């Protein structure tokens, strides 16, 4: 299983283990110092930063949710005025979707995919670093703007004409549009990296049917990102052009179309839900298999359902627009396609339950979150079937019924699995275990608090309470349930608070984890916790879908990669046969500088179109520096 | 540890950015209700004899000149331009029965107090007074907006185009087509 | 879970019975809304059954006796295809059934417009209703004859709004640059409330619409009264108010037919005192509420386009007397 033969280069094969480790460390360890921290390209460090940043945004978004619940607890609440409230719910939504949900799922992929497929770093590591800095800049833009009373107030969907030049006063909607540009840029970069990593860097022997389900999910997700994100970039760029340059994409009087924006937005916006949900399916499959102590039931149907959902998700965007008065035929098509997506989702739930049925469940915190996921997500999926029906949607659209529905899907379907995944992979990331006892408490509080908070919102919506209202009159019969919801949300907040406490406590004082604390079957558990900078001492060779269960003692490894420069093993797409050795880019400050230059240009363009012209010069300089041939193979990579 | 250090420098950077942006943030504040005494004080522009030029009311300065720099107030002025049927005489701004507002020539002054006085008190040859038709804060909004129609320098707070057929260049292009030395021949 | 669901539905039913006018999809008052209501319960029942089945199998899977597990695993090698196939077929059948039910409901909703036409135009943040044949222009309150199909023609003046009176019909958006129409037939007399359902800016929360369904005779009388010009006030105080209305800023934005005031910026006030509420169903149409609204609109509805006008107390009394006289 060696790579290409060659005697002149040191391969490490013949070196003693300590010497090989020393040499690998010398070439793979990240540089030191502040400059070093800004130059890092290690997927684990960037993935960890990405995840930590995303959870910071989750906490911030949670604070906004608390403000919303205090405001709505009583009729005609006086905590926030309409102006601030509109910013609060807009930033809550935009933050949770663009700065938490999508990035955190991609970040889990950035950290885990290279480990799960047995390679030393993600493909295009410098692009990865660039992506993180761009993401941080976009998040900072939104939050600094919000704290300065500058925050977008047009809803996370930013419909024109409300966000357009005539009714979107000031720069608030521009902040929204440009924040989207930042996060989309970051997401697209990660998606490309993951696709290439999965296709070309899998461990030898990891044929398509041996790829872990989480990696499959990230692969499908990445394709969704690549196809869906350009639509929203067009929408937000056209909006910003309308606002700043005076174009007429969305001006009906000049041949533009208001609904065009909605089509573009939801052509992205619906796949977005699956961009968040599919990685969660992958996490659930992985954790289920570990804690049911058997391979997941129906590997092939699960992979097929992931792909089917990915394809179908592009055929149902218009069900967000049923009340705009679409032609009848169009409505029927989108009803049918929206209903159809229940089939692959049903297959997934079926396979999950079958796995539990056939296995011997071990009750550790991740499995608790998986159970909470099945219970909650199923409700969200079924109310999804209800809103897919045009006539029903005409009653519940834009009411609290829909608020309840998508929180069931997004929190039940993605956040619960994500919290389970943090409990599951925390030992790998930090080398320390999280607390089983606190984990059970977190799962219980979050599950009970979530359902008590969001289930009554279905009823509120049916009672006629529209979304996005900052106050309601005391005569309307919504006061009681709203107060109940606000009180119940305290339980939910307590659960999240305990989760953050457990994370911090465990990071400092958790019990040492060991390499494979859960006795899990996938490759990331074949290395130390936390993994060394080069991930694997020798590249593992895979002979089954569950390598650590089937070869517990003697996982074969491939040798032959050089130990004097960063090298990866490139394998074939289908059968993962070794094809070549490829150098992997080393640490560099240029991605950071390029991200700073891009940030300056994008933010400047909000205030003057000339910023695009002058701002491109520093970007050009940064890119020239980035790609300047320096002679070292790591730089050519 | 490196990441902690990184955090600290990140915070410093964020604070610096925040400081920079603070100078701009009153552009975006939305004050929907002004106390009646403030509104009354806004009416006290000290105009020079002849009603052209003069000092702004102290209240406007004390508020931070919102009608010149605040996006919401200027946008409200744009709404009032349509609501008060200014277009009935001035058209889309390029003039009709009344003079053009976009050619850069201001017969009675381009400063805010003069524009305020023009709208409030009217001017000879047809400009009616709006003293009774609008409260002072609304007149200020209108004056702030009209000033952006033929601005000599661009404002980031000014509104964009209308969602309507475009018959003239957008507001807030600057400088005005040309800053004329004498009144345009009409 | 199911217990909680039941409790909340009972809660919902209880609160619906309590008050009127309300806006609840759970209390349908027109054939269209009733058909939506039936469809809703069909979906609820089917979805609940599916959810309970999933929960039952999840519970069984977690709690079942593990002594047989090894046999099942051995047999598992050939069951996946079969089992998954069965799951797919079951899901397809359920989903197809619901889709067909949904199509049938859509078809039953399609009715031809007849007779009465109301043009409803959305503004930030109020509704203008025009009855072209009857010559009526009013705001924030529409009257309908019971039993007669009414074609609502929807348009928007500024941003997107959405017309939604849950007891009568599902919602439909008012979109700038597009024309939408919906037909409603109300079968029961009553007062119904609707509210803008598409986020439309600062006062989206306070954009209510009152719908009064009344017998045809009462409707005709109402329409005749509304089409008439405003009667000149008789009380001296109201007469002073009428003069103030023309002299002050009021007439810059509002129209009162029969007087010089004809501006179209704000709601038509010709018969404002005949309505149940003012400011898009934020305040009742009483003299005190008129005065409060005129003197300080930005506290009641921050961001609304109505400016505060400086008035002496006597002037305020006169204006509110005039408003109350506009029956």
Residue-wise pLDDT tens digits, A138-147: 999 999 999 9
Q: Is the pLDDT of residue C2 over 50?
A: no
Kindly report the nearest CA distance between residue A250 and chain B, in angstroms: 8
Please indicate if any CB of chain A lies within 8 Å of the CB of C72.
Answer: yes
Tell me: the pLDDT tens digits for A562-581? 888 898 999 999 999 999 98
Q: How many domains does chain B have?
A: 1
pLDDT at residue A559 in the model:
79
Chain A environment of B24 (Cβ under 8 Å): 148, 150
Average pLDDT over residues C182-187: 88
Contact of A540 with A556, CB cutoff 8 Å? yes
Question: Subunits touching C (CB < 8 Å, at least 3 pairs)?
Answer: A, B
Chain C environment of A335 (Cβ under 8 Å): 99, 102-103
- Whether residue B31 lies inside any domain: the answer is no
Please indicate if any CB of chain A lies within 8 Å of the CB of C76.
Answer: yes
CB nearest C84 (choices: A162, A350, A379): A350
CB nearest B6 (choices: A37, A144, A250): A37
Tell me: the pLDDT tens digits for A503-514? 999 999 999 998
Selected residue with higher pLDDT from C146 and B175: C146
Q: Which residues pair with C152 in a beta bridge?
A: C118, C182
Angle at B47 between CA B45 and CA B53, to 5 degrees: 110
Nearest CA in chain B to A239: B160
Q: Which two tokens stand for residue B19?
A: 């400081």
pLDDT at residue B180 in the model:
67
User: How many separate helices (H) and strands (E) can be counted in chain B?
Assistant: 8, 2
Angle at A86 between CA A260 and CA A481, to 5 degrees: 110
Select A17-362+514-635's CATH number: 3.40.190.80, 1.20.1630.10, 1.20.210.10, 1.20.1050.10: 1.20.210.10
pLDDT at residue B9 in the model:
58
Size of interface A-C (CB pairs under 8 A): 259
Q: Which two tokens stand for residue C310?
A: 């400086």
**C305: which DSSP letter?**
S
Nearest CA in chain B to C247: B132
Q: Is C326 exposed, middle or buried (0-12, 13-18, 19+ CB in 10 A)?
A: buried
Distance CA A283, CA A262 (A): 32
Report CA-CA distances (Å) from A543 to A205, A221, A546, A578: 6, 26, 8, 14
CB nearest A37 (choices: B5, B78, B157): B5
Which 134-153 residues of chain A touch chain B by CB within 8 A?
Answer: 140, 144-145, 147-150
Average pLDDT over residues A322-332: 84
Q: Which residues pair with C180 in a beta bridge?
A: C154
Per-chain mean pLDDT for chain B? 81
Number of neighbouring beta carbons within 10 Å of residue A573 = 12
Q: Is the pLDDT of residue A104 over 90?
A: yes
pLDDT at residue B11 in the model:
61
CB nearest C298 (choices: B32, B40, B132): B32
pLDDT at residue A382 in the model:
93
Kindly report the nearest CA distance between residue A99 and chain C, in angstroms: 23
Q: Is the pLDDT of residue A594 over 90?
A: yes
Give the contacts of B82 (CB within 8 A, at least 6 positions apart). Answer: none
Tell me whether residues C159 and A161 touch, CB distance under 8 A: yes
Give the phi and the psi of residue A625 in degrees, each rounded to 5. -60, -40
Nearest CA in chain C to B31: C303
Chain C environment of B132 (Cβ under 8 Å): 247-249
Which of B30, B134, B136 would best serve as a mutation to test chain C binding (most C beta carbons within 10 A)?
B134
Kindly report the nearest CA distance between residue C143 and chain A, in angstroms: 21
Which of C307, C309, C310 would best serve as a mutation to test chain B binding (most B beta carbons within 10 A)?
C307
Average pLDDT over residues A509-527: 92
Kindly report the nearest CA distance between residue C176 and chain B, in angstroms: 9
Q: Which residues pair with C277 in a beta bridge?
A: C284
Chain C environment of A398 (Cβ under 8 Å): 162, 171, 197-199
Tell me whether residues A148 and B21 touch, CB distance under 8 A: yes
**Domain of residue B73, CATH code:** 1.10.760.10
Q: Is the pLDDT of residue C65 over 70?
A: no
Distance CA A195, CA A187 (A): 12
- Whether residue B111 lies inside any domain: the answer is yes
- Whether residue B14 lies inside any domain: the answer is no
Give the contacts of A16 (CB within 8 A, at least 6 positions apart). Answer: none
3-state SS assignment for residue A2: coil
Interface of C with B (CB under 8 A): 176, 202, 247-249, 251-253, 265, 296, 298-299, 302-303, 305, 307-310
Longest dimension (CA), chain A: 85
Q: How many residues does chain C have?
A: 327
Tell me whether residues B33 and C253 touch, CB distance under 8 A: no
Q: Which two tokens stand for residue A563?
A: 């130990």
CB nearest A170 (choices: B3, B17, B28): B28
Tell me: the pLDDT tens digits for B48-95? 888 888 888 999 988 988 998 899 999 999 999 999 989 889 988 888
Q: Which of C198, C196, C185, C26 is nearest to C110 (CA)?
A: C185
Chain C environment of B159 (Cβ under 8 Å): none
Give the phi and the psi of residue C161 in degrees, each rounded to 5. -125, 175
Q: How many CA atoms lie within 13 A of C150 on its CB side?
A: 30
Tell me whether residues B163 and C265 touch, CB distance under 8 A: no
Longest dimension (CA), chain C: 97
CB nearest B163 (choices: A145, A150, A164): A164
Tell me whether residues A391 and C106 touch, CB distance under 8 A: yes
Tell me whether residues C303 and B135 touch, CB distance under 8 A: no
Tell me whether residues A169 and B159 touch, CB distance under 8 A: yes
Kindly report the nearest CA distance between residue A166 and chain B, in angstroms: 5
pLDDT at residue B8 in the model:
58
Which of C20, C25, C60, C64 would best serve as a mutation to test chain A binding (most A beta carbons within 10 A)?
C25
Kindly report the nearest CA distance between residue A167 and chain C, in angstroms: 8
Q: How many CA atoms lie within 13 A of A330 on its CB side?
A: 12
Least confident segment among A319-323, A562-566, A617-621, B24-28: B24-28
For chain A, give every domain's residue range: 17-362+514-635, 398-511
Angle at A613 between CA A609 and CA A619, to 5 degrees: 125
Q: Place B176 in a pLDDT band, splitting at 50, 70 and 90.
A: low
Q: How many residues does chain B have?
A: 186
Q: What is the ipTM of this complex?
A: 0.90
CB nearest C303 (choices: B32, B137, B163): B32
Tell me whether residues A252 and C176 touch, CB distance under 8 A: yes
- Whether residue B84 lies inside any domain: the answer is yes
Give the contacts of A234 (CB within 8 A, at least 6 positions apart). Answer: A264
Q: Which residues pair with A567 in a beta bridge?
A: A583
Q: Which two tokens stand for residue A462?
A: 């049916």
Q: Place A7 in a pLDDT band, splitting at 50, 70 and 90.
A: very low
Kindly report the nearest CA distance between residue A58 and chain C, in angstroms: 24
Average pLDDT over residues C314-324: 95
CB nearest A140 (choices: B14, B157, B165): B14
Contact of C101 with C39, CB cutoff 8 Å? yes
3-state SS assignment for residue A537: coil
Q: Which two tokens stand for residue C4?
A: 């909680």
Q: Which two tokens stand for residue A37?
A: 């921290």
Helix (H) or strand (E) holding B19: helix B2-22
Average pLDDT over residues C26-50: 90
- Whether residue B170 lies inside any domain: the answer is no
- Whether residue B112 lies inside any domain: the answer is yes
Residue pointed to by tokens 């005190």? C288
Give the phi and the psi of residue A45 in degrees, each rounded to 5. -70, -45
Helix (H) or strand (E) holding C195: strand C190-195
Residue pointed to by tokens 């491109």? A616
Q: Which of B159, B150, B177, B168 is nearest to B91 (CA)?
A: B168
Which 4-63 residues of chain B touch chain A by CB within 8 A?
Answer: 5-6, 9, 14, 17-18, 21-22, 24-25, 27-30, 32
Q: How many CA atoms lie within 13 A of C202 on its CB side?
A: 19
Tell me whether residues A165 and B17 touch, CB distance under 8 A: no
Tell me: the pLDDT tens digits for A278-295? 999 999 999 999 999 999
Q: Which two tokens stand for residue A630?
A: 């320096």
Helix (H) or strand (E) holding C284: strand C283-284
- Whether residue B17 lies inside any domain: the answer is no
Q: Which two tokens stand for residue A508?
A: 């400092």
CB nearest C99 (choices: A335, A347, A399): A335
- Whether residue B175 lies inside any domain: the answer is no
Tell me: the pLDDT tens digits for B148-170? 887 777 777 878 788 888 887 76
Tell me: the pLDDT tens digits for C193-232? 999 999 999 999 999 999 999 999 999 999 999 999 999 9
Chain A environment of C170 (Cβ under 8 Å): 323, 391, 393-395, 397
Instruction: Label each residue of A466-498 as H, E or C.
Output: ECCCCCCCCCCCCHHHHHHHHHHHHHHHHHHHH
CB nearest A150 (choices: B17, B25, B78): B25
Give the structural domain span for B59. Answer: 37-162
Please indicate if any CB of chain A lies within 8 Å of the CB of C197.
Answer: yes
Nearest CA in chain C to A378: C51
Q: Place C9 in a pLDDT band, splitting at 50, 70 and 90.
A: very low
pLDDT at residue C95 in the model:
83
């Amino acid at each position: 299983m060696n790579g290409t033969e060659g005697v002149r280069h040191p391969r490490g094969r013949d070196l003693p283990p300590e010497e090989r480790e020393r040499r690998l460390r010398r070439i793979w360890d990240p540089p030191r110092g502040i400059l070093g921290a800004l130059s890092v390209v290690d997927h684990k460090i960037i993935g960890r930063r990405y995840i930590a940043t995303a959870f910071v945004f989750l906490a911030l978004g949670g604070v906004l949710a608390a403000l919303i619940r205090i405001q709505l607890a009583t009729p005609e609440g006086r905590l926030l005025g309409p102006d601030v409230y509109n910013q609060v719910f807009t930033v809550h939504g935009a933050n949770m979707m663009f700065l938490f949900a999508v990035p955190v799922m991609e970040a889990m992929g950035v950290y885990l995919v290279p480990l799960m497929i047995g390679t030393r770093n993600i493909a295009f590591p410098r692009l990865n670093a660039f992506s993180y800095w761009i993401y941080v800049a976009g998040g900072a833009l939104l939050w600094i703007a919000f704290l300065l009373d500058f925050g977008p107030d047009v809803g996370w969907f930013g419909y024109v004409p409300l966000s357009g030049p005539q009714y979107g006063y000031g720069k608030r909607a521009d902040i929204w549009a440009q924040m989207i540009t930042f996060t989309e840029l970051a997401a697209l970069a990660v998606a490309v990296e993951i696709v290439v990593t999965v296709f070309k860097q899998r461990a030898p022997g990891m044929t398509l049917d041996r790829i872990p389900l989480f990696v499959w999910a990230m692969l499908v997700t990445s394709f969704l990102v690549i196809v869906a994100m350009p639509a929203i970039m067009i929408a937000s760029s056209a909006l910003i052009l309308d606002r700043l340059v005076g174009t007429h994409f969305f001006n009906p009087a000049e041949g533009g179309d208001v609904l065009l924006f909605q089509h573009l937005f939801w052509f992205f916006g619906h796949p977005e839900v699956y961009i968040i949900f599919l990685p969660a399916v992958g996490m659930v499959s992985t954790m289920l298999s570990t804690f049911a102590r058997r391979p997941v039931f129906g590997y092939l149907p699960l992979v097929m359902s992931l792909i089917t959902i990915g394809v179908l998700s592009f055929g149902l965007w218009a069900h967000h627009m049923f009340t705009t008065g679409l032609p009848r035929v169009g409505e029927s098509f989108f009803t049918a396609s929206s209903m159809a997506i229940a089939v692959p989702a049903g297959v997934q739930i079926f396979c999950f339950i079958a796995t539990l049925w056939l296995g011997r469940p071990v009750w550790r915190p991740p499995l608790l979150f998986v159970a909470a996921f099945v219970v909650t997500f199923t409700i969200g999926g079924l109310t999804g079937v209800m809103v897919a029906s045009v006539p029903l949607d005409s009653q519940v659209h834009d009411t609290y019924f829909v608020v309840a529905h998508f929180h069931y899907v997004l929190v039940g379907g993605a956040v619960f699995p994500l919290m389970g995944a943090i409990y599951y992979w925390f030992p790998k990331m930090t080398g320390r275990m999280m607390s089983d006892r606190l984990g059970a408490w977190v799962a219980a509080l979050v599950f009970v608090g979530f359902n008590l908070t969001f289930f009554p919102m279905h009823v509120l919506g049916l009672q006629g309470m529209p979304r996005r209202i900052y106050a309601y009159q005391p005569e309307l019969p919504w006061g009681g349930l709203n107060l109940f919801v606000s009180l119940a949300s305290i339980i939910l907040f307590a659960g999240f608070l305990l989760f953050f406490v457990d994370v911090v406590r465990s990071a400092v004082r958790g019990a040492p984890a060991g390499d494979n604390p859960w006795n899990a079957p996938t490759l990331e558990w074949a290395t130390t916790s936390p993994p060394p900078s080069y991930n694997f001492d020798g590249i593992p060779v895979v002979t089954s879908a569950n390598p650590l269960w089937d070869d517990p003692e003697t996982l074969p490894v491939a040798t032959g990669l050089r130990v004097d420069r960063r090298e990866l093993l490139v394998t074939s797409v289908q059968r993962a046969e070794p094809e070549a050795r490829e150098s992997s880019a080393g640490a560099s400050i240029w991605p950071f500088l390029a991200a700073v230059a891009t940030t300056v240009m994008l933010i400047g363009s909000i205030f003057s179109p000339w910023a695009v012209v002058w701002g491109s010069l520093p970007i050009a300089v940064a890119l020239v520096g980035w790609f300047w041939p320096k002679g070292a193979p790591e730089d050519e990579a | 540890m490196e990441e902690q250090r990184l955090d600290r420098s990140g915070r410093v950077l964020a604070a610096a950015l925040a400081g920079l942006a603070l100078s701009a943030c009153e552009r975006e504040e939305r004050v929907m209700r002004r106390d009646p005494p403030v509104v009354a004080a806004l009416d006290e522009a000290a105009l020079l004899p002849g009603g052209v030029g003069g000092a702004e009311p102290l209240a406007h300065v004390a508020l931070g000149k919102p009608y010149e720099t605040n996006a919401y107030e200027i946008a409200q002025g744009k709404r009032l331009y349509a609501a008060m049927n200014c277009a009935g005489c001035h058209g889309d701004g390029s003039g009709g029965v009344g003079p053009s507002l976009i050619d850069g020539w201001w017969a009675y002054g381009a400063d805010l107090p003069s524009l305020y006085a023009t709208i409030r008190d009217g001017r000879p040859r047809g400009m009616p007074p709006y003293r009774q038709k609008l409260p002072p804060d609304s007149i200020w909004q209108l004056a702030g907006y009209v000033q952006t129609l033929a601005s000599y320098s661009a404002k980031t707070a000014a509104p964009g185009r209308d969602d309507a057929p475009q018959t003239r260049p957008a507001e807030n292009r600057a400088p005005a087509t040309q800053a004329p030395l004498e009144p345009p021949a009409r | 879970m199911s217990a909680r669901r039941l409790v909340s539905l009972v809660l919902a039913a209880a609160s619906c019975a309590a008050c009127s006018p309300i806006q609840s999809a759970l209390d349908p008052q027109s054939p269209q809304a009733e058909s939506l209501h039936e469809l809703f319960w069909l979906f609820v029942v089917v979805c609940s059954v599916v959810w309970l089945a999933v929960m039952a199998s999840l519970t069984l899977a977690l709690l079942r006796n593990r002594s047989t597990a090894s046999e099942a695993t051995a047999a598992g090698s050939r069951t996946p295809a079969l089992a998954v196939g069965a799951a797919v077929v079951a899901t397809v059948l359920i989903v197809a059934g619901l889709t067909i039910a949904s199509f049938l409901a859509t078809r039953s909703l399609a009715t031809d417009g007849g007779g009465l036409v109301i043009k409803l135009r959305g503004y930030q943040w109020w509704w203008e209703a025009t009855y072209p044949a009857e010559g009526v222009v009013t705001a924030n309150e529409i009257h309908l004859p019971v039993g007669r199909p009414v074609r609502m023609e929807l348009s928007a003046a500024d941003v997107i709004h959405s017309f939604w009176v849950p007891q009568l019909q599902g919602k439909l958006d008012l979109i700038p640059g597009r024309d939408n129409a919906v037909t409603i037939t109300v079968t029961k007399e009553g007062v119904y409330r609707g509210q803008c359902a598409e986020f439309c800016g600062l006062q989206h929360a306070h954009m209510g619409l009152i719908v009064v369904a009344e017998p045809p005779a009462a409707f005709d009388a109402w329409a005749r009264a509304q089409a008439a010009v405003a009667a000149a006030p008789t009380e001296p105080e109201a007469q002073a108010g009428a003069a103030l209305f023309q002299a002050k800023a009021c007439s810059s934005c509002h129209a009162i037919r029969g007087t010089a005031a004809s501006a179209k910026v704000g709601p038509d006030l010709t018969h404002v005192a005949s309505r149940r509420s003012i400011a898009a169903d934020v305040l009742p149409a009483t003299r005190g509420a008129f005065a409060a609204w005129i003197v300080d609109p930005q506290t009641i509805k921050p961001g609304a386009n109505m400016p505060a006008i400086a008035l002496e107390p006597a002037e305020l009394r006169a204006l509110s007397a005039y408003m109350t006289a506009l029956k």
